[in-house]
A and B are shown apart, each in its own frame.
Chain A
Amino acid sequence: MPTIPISKAKSEYDVIIVGSGAGGGQMAYTLTLAGIKCLMLEAGRSYDVVAETPMFQTGKDAPLGGSSTPDKNFGFFDATIDGGWEVPDEPYTQASDKAEEQFRWWRARMMGGRTNHWGRISLRNGPYDFKPYSRDGLGFDWPISYDDLEPYYTKVEKLIGVYGSNEGMENTPDSPTGVLQPPPKGRVGDLMIQKHGKKLGVPVIPIHRAVLTRPQDGKKLAPELHPDNPKAQKIVEESMSSRAACFWATDCGRGCSIRANYQSTTVHLPPALATGNLDIIPNAHVREVIVGKDGKAKGVLFIDKTTGKEERVKGKAVVLAASSGETVRILLNSASGDGIANSSGLVGKYIMDTVGSDMSGQIPALENLPAHNDDGAGGCHFYSPWWLYKEQKAGKLDFARGYHIEISGTRSMPKGNSPVPPHFLKGLYGTKLKEAARRYYGSFVHLACRGEMIPNEGSFAELDSEVKDKWGIPVMKWHWKWSEHELNMSAHAQKTFAGIFESAGGKGLFDAKRDPRKAILRGGEVIHEVGGALMGADAKKSVCNEWNQTWDVKNLILCDASPFASNSDKNPTETIMALAWRAADRLIEESRKGNL
Chain B
Amino acid sequence: MNSQEQENRLPRRRVLQWFAAVAAAEGMALPAALAQATKPGATGYGQDPVMAKRYERGEVWPLTFTKSEKAAALALADMVFPKDDMGPAASEVRVAEFIDEWVSAPYPRQQGDRKAIIPGLKGLDEECRKHFQKNFAEASEEQKKAACDEMAKGNHFFNVFTALAAGAYYSDPRCWKALGYAGNVPIGGAFPGPPKEVLDQLGLVQTVE
Given known A57-B52, A63-B60, contact A419–B179 (CB-CB < 8 A): yes
A65 within 8 Å of B by Cβ? yes
A426 and B187 within 8 A (CB) = no
Distance A169 CA – B202 CA, assembled complex (angstroms): 28
Residues in A whose Cβ lies below 8 Å from that of B163? 418, 422, 425
A194 and B207 within 8 A (CB) = yes
A370 and B199 within 8 A (CB) = no
Given known A58-B172, A248-B186, contact A434–B167 (CB-CB < 8 A): no
B92 within 8 Å of A by Cβ? no
Which of A57, A87, A418, A427 is close to B51, meaning CB atoms less than 8 Å apart? A57
Most chain A beta carbons < 10 A, residue from B2, B59, B182: B182
B182 and A371 within 8 A (CB) = yes
Which of B44, B159, B180, B208 is close to A183, meaning CB atoms less than 8 Å apart? B208
Given known A373-B182, A374-B194, A433-B81, contact A419–B166 (CB-CB < 8 A): yes
Complex interface residues of chain B between 37 and 59 (CB less than 8 A to chain A): 44-55, 59
Residues in A whose Cβ lies below 8 Å from that of B199? 188, 191
Which of B7, B46, B98, B193 is close to A71, meaning CB atoms less than 8 Å apart? B46
A191 and B182 within 8 A (CB) = no
Distance A54 CA – B55 CA, assembled complex (angstroms): 12
A537 within 8 Å of B by Cβ? no
Residues in A whose Cβ lies below 8 Å from that of B50? 52
B22-30, B65-73, B104-112, B128-136: which lies at the interface: B104-112
A414 and B179 within 8 A (CB) = yes
Residues in B whose Cβ lies below 8 Å from that of A429? 79-80, 148, 152, 162
Given known A416-B171, A418-B167, contact A373–B187 (CB-CB < 8 A): yes
Top-7 shortest CB links A-B: A59-B171, A427-B3, A185-B193, A375-B183, A422-B163, A247-B186, A371-B180
A52 and B180 within 8 A (CB) = no
A contact face: mostly helix, strand, loop, or mixed = loop
A70 and B208 within 8 A (CB) = no
A186 and B179 within 8 A (CB) = no
A376 within 8 Å of B by Cβ? yes
A434 and B178 within 8 A (CB) = yes
Given known A192-B204, A375-B184, contact A77–B172 (CB-CB < 8 A): no
B6 within 8 Å of A by Cβ? yes
B33 within 8 Å of A by Cβ? no
- Can you spell out 30 A-B residue pairs with CB atoms less than 8 angstroms apart? A53-B52, A57-B52, A57-B54, A58-B171, A61-B53, A63-B60, A63-B105, A64-B101, A70-B44, A76-B49, A76-B51, A81-B47, A82-B48, A185-B190, A185-B193, A191-B194, A191-B207, A249-B186, A371-B181, A372-B198, A414-B171, A417-B167, A418-B170, A419-B170, A422-B163, A428-B152, A430-B80, A433-B162, A437-B178, A438-B86
A377 and B191 within 8 A (CB) = yes
Residues in B whose Cβ lies below 8 Å from that of A51? 52
A422 and B193 within 8 A (CB) = no
A250 within 8 Å of B by Cβ? yes
Which of B79, B180, B209 is close to A430, meaning CB atoms less than 8 Å apart? B79
A63 and B51 within 8 A (CB) = no
Cβ of B88 to closest chain A Cβ, rounded Å: 11
Distance A192 CA – B207 CA, assembled complex (angstroms): 11
Residues in A whose Cβ lies below 8 Å from that of B185? 249, 373
B17 within 8 Å of A by Cβ? no
